[in-house]
Amino acid sequence: MTNILKSLIWASIIILVAYAAKDQGMSDNAATGLVFAMVGAATASLASGKGCRAKGWC
C-alpha cells in the first residue's frame, strides 16, 4: 500500500472522528484533542515504514 493511499485513509478516518465527536456532543476542546491524537497516530504510522536506517540516522 502506498503512502498516498495510507494518507487518504487516515484523512478520512480523522474527518469521521471529528464529525462523530461533534455529533456526540463533545466540547470543542475535547474534539480538538481527539483529532490531534488521531493526527499524531497517522503521522507515526506513516513515518514508521521509512525507518531511520534509510536516512542514515542509526
pLDDT at position 49, please?
66
pLDDT at position 32, please?
94
Question: Tens-digit pLDDT profile for the chain (58 aa)?
Answer: 788 898 999 999 999 999 999 999 999 999 999 999 999 999 988 887 665 555 555 4
Q: How buried is 23 (Cβ within 10 angstroms: 0-12 exposed, 13-18 middle, 19+ buried)?
A: exposed
Cell numbers at residue 37, please? Answer: 491524537
Secondary structure, 3-state, 28-56? HHHHHHHHHHHHHHHHHHHHHCCCCHHHC
C-alpha to C-alpha distance for 53 and 7, rounded to whole angstroms: 22
Single pTM value for the model: 0.75
pLDDT at position 58, please?
46
pLDDT at position 47, please?
84
